[in-house]
Structure 1
Amino acid sequence: MPPRSDSDLARELAASAGALLLQVRGRPFADAAARQAAGDAEAQRFLAGRLGELRPGDAVLSEEAADDAVRLGADRVWIVDPLDGTREFAEPGRSDWAVHVALWERGELTAGAVAIPAEGLTLTTGEPPAVPERADGPVRLAVSRSRPPALVQDLAAALGGELVPMGSAGVKAMAVVRGQADAYVHGGGQYEWDSAAPVAVARAAGLHTSRLDGTPLRYNQPDPWLPDLLICRPELADRLLAALAELPRAAAPSRPSHGGTHG
């Protein structure tokens, strides 16, 4: 039986794409690049097929497909990242990669799911996770394990905080939902598919989400590039925004040619 609600569908698609990616990951490949390419292609093919079958009237914006301008006039647009964290996906034993599926309707994100397949976990707006109580100690900032941005390092210094390295954007955002970090601060630029589903789930869980200057995040825009992002515990939002306002802001980040995630 097809999923009854959009949240159910987001959860089913993210979890099923994740299961497919685990199968792909277990196959022999010549190198990491071949494994990454196969994961991207097969997850995209699965998600596009299921959305075409179950929501044929909806538009889709995906990292792994050409952008179709029809979405700009649509009332409903699915925003998907078939494989968030291709580098981590290709490294044996790493679990910090994800699948993102979100629905934008008439200006708002209304459903979403983030699967972390290697942990057997899918977080969804349909059953918002309960955010654990914050432990005593310094503010913990989720950050890229390979290239922690200067902005977040400066913020940690200003707050007396600590950096918590991890992989993909979705995993970092869900670390805040899961109580493994207190905030995910990103100033290096991303595309809408990098954050739409994580933001939808974070909002459903009661977290603060915004641009770094506190203004709202906007999705299904003509240019899907989003310069910056803040996801944090609501009780820390004012403190983080005030600290960010005091930091020197670097020049606008350059974007990758298409779809690369900046952690």
Structure 2
Amino acid sequence: MADPTIDDAELALRLATAAGEHLLKLREHGLLSSSDLGAHGDRLANTLLTDLLRRHRPDDGLLSEEEASDDARLHKQRVWIVDPLDGTREYAEGRLDWAVHIGLVKDGKVAAACAVSLPGLGQVFSAAASIALPPAPVGGMKILVSRTRAPRIAEQVAQRLNAQLVPMGSAGAKAMAVVRGEAHAYLHAGGQYEWDSCAPVGVALAAGLHASRIDGRPCSYNQRDVFMPDLLICRPEVAAALLSTIAECQRHEELQHD
């Protein structure tokens, strides 16, 4: 039965926290191999989150990484977009850089009811909370990228701006590292889906960060095609420089291929 006494932001926060706690307990038991642990963690967190969302928000749409897309969501004004375990590999390897994403979009735009949990660090970030952006990291620009496949565009941008590329696990972990003031930016290109960025974008925007596609377009959600291949989350003071440098690198690539 739905519980109207729990507002959207509180629900997102509770769900992200609960899923993270369950995933930590599962890993701490030490009963599964790393490959089995990741798959089991995905299923466990997905079942918990989707069951609770369908109980508390039965009229809303739902999109989860771990379930086939239901096109009924396309006709809903409100849609929850979740990644039950973002960074399955990192989770299974016993690392800290994995996350749980709970996002709510209204008419395709991220709402304040977004939460990202970093269970390994014992932190949960809510877009509805007052998030004070810490000072920028000292020294040169630091750009977070995938620890397994740093995109070519990030390497080109870093070379032009004399920036340092910092590898890290899940998208949520990288986005929250910018929120925490550990890096200036998180730049991704080459393949992601709506659940990878929805909740992180919601929290990042609430913290006063810039969040967009790498061509500067706003991030739009609850699309029929949920593929969203690129993302830029960064401190506002470096957004213009990063976007213009990305565009310059892309133009250079196009000229080389003509």
- What is the TM-score normalised by the length of structure 2? 0.93
Counterpart code for 2:151: P
Question: What CA deviation, in whole Å up to 9, does each residue of 1:54-84 have, x standing for no partner?
Answer: 1111110000011000000001100000000
| Cα separation, 2, equivalents of 1:245 and 1:74 | 35
C-alpha deviation, 1:29, in angstroms: 4.1
Kept in 1, the 8 Å contact 2:201–2:211? The answer is yes
Q: Which residue of 1 aligns with 2:148?
A: 146
Select 1:197's aligned residue among 199, 211, 215: 199
Q: Given that residues 108 and 223 in structure 2 are in contact (C-alpha distance below 8 angstroms), is that contact kept between their aligned partners in structure 1?
A: no
| Equivalences for residues 22-171 of structure 1 within 5 A | 22-92=24-94, 94-110=95-111, 111-171=113-173
CA distance in 2 between partners of 1:191 and 1:78 (Å):
14
Query: Does the residue aligned with 1:136 lie in a helix, a strand or coil?
Result: coil
Does the residue aligned with 2:148 lie in a helix, a strand or coil? coil
Distance 1:3 1:189, change over 3 A: farther
What is the deviation of 1:30? 4.7
Moved more, 144-153 or 157-166: 144-153
Q: CA deviation at 1:128?
A: 3.5
Identity of aligned residues (%): 51
For residue 27 of structure 1, report the CA deviation from its aligned partner: 2.6
Q: Which letter does structure 2 place at the counterpart of 1:217?
A: C
- Which one-letter code corresponds to 1:98 in the other structure? A
| Unaligned ranges ≥5, structure 2 | none
The residue type equivalent to 1:210 in the other structure is S
Read off the aligned partner of 1:102 and give its amino acid letter. Answer: G
Match of residue 243 from structure 1: 245
Separation (CA, whole Å) in 2 of partners of 1:7 and 1:37: 28
Is 1:5 matched with 2:7?
A: yes
**What letter is aligned with 1:161?**
A
Q: 1:3 to 1:191 in 2, by over 3 A?
A: farther
Name whichever structure is richer in helix by fraction. 2
Distance in 2, Cα, partners of 1:86 & 1:107 = 27
- Partner Cα distance (1:215, 1:144) in 2: 22
**DSSP-derived class of the 1:155 partner:** helix
